[in-house]
Amino acid sequence: MSGLDDQVQAFVDYTLDFYPEHAVAASVKQQRQWYDDLCAEFRTSRPAYLLVNDELVAVEDGHQVPVRTYAIGPQPSQQQVLYCHGGGFVLGGLDSHDDVCAEIAHRCQVDVVSVDYRLAPEYHYPQDLNDGLAVLDKLLARGHQVVLAGDSAGGAISACMANKRLPVCGQGIVGQVLIYPSLTKDWTTASMTKHANAPMLTVADMEYYMYMRTNGAPVPLTDPGFVAMACTDFSALPPTYLFPAEVDPLCDDCAIYAQALSMAGTPVTNHLALGQGLVHGYLRARNTSDQAKTNFAAICASISQLLA
């Protein structure tokens, strides 16, 4: 695809080799296997000193959500990053983003908590959101200051968790770092049209995942737990850093969300310039693409700034 440098194009080509042309026609089990294999191919080892622990956190409906903590020392840090992984609300888990979370913990010198929220089609909204909220509430109850972070679907969940916990935004929740997130559910933006068939995420892919997440029900566009832009008070949100990818149908979501926050007086930075020539899913390219590496460094710097 034109507009991508050689390193990003090589990343795209290598990624697409893991999937047949019509991957969404395969079973969910097969799609997850392809995705897990892809993530494993790009995975790097964790820094040896990190203390990694898996546990279960209870949700109100009786579910036990798996959580993985990457601790920088034997005592929990006062400040923590709560990370929600991407994967279209259908794919991914603790292992798919293990190295991303470990590297954030190392670079930012902060404990990172990764949430294995329930996935569609076995489960449906709001179970995914409720899993994240259960973990967030546990961290807040312990007195931690929390940065909400996530990529793609995880970025959407993170932003909606902030919506559902507006009274503690700016206090317990000290910031958001959202990486190529879905924030508007608006299919008419310029980027949705221009990049409808982008190499790593298409509009058709998003429609497919959305249908699975809602179990075919109408999309609840006015629900602030489902759509970040349905927030009832943008002025109450915490300082926010946005990291869109240019070659992505979701690119304009960040600009629309940033404008809403800015007009409400909430500090927000939309790093569109850093995303020029990058594609959805570029986190996996941070060790093979100079541009993605620079972007990831800025993501970590943003987290550190929020925790300073």
66 sits in which H/E element = strand 64-71
Mean pLDDT score, 206-224: 95
Using CA atoms, how far apart are residues 36 and 167, in angstroms rounded to an integer? 37
Provide the mean pLDDT of the chain.
Answer: 96
Give the per-residue pLDDT at 21. Answer: 75
Tokens of 88: 């279209």
The class (CATH top level) of 6-307 is alpha beta
Mean pLDDT of 98-121: 98
Nearest of 165, 198, 203 to residue 279 by alpha carbon: 198
pTM: 0.97
Could you tell me where the beta strands, DSSP code E, fall in 136-263? 145-151, 173-179, 240-243
Write the DSSP symbol of residue 126: T
Strands 111-115 and 64-71: antiparallel
Residue 42 confidence class, pLDDT cut points 50, 70, 90:
very high
Q: For residue 185, which of 263, 262, 253 has the smallest C-alpha distance? A: 253
Consecutive H or E run containing 112: strand 111-115
Host H or E run for residue 84:
strand 79-84
Domain boundary assignment for the chain: 6-307
For residue 25, the 8-state DSSP code is: G
Supply angle C-alpha 105, 106, 110, rounded to 5: 40
What is the strand order of the sheet 145-151 is part of? 51-58, 64-71, 111-115, 79-84, 145-151, 173-179, 240-243, 268-270
Evaluate whether 176 touches 240 at the Cβ level (below 8 Å): yes
Return the H-helix or E-strand segment holding 160.
Answer: helix 153-164
Residue pLDDT, tens place only, 140-199: 999 999 999 999 999 999 999 999 999 999 999 999 999 999 999 999 999 999 999 999
What percentage of residues in the chain have a pLDDT greater than 90?
96
Residue 1 has pLDDT above 80, yes or no: no
Residues involved in catalysis: 152, 248, 280
Between CA 183 and CA 189, with CA 187 as vertex, the angle to 5 degrees is 80
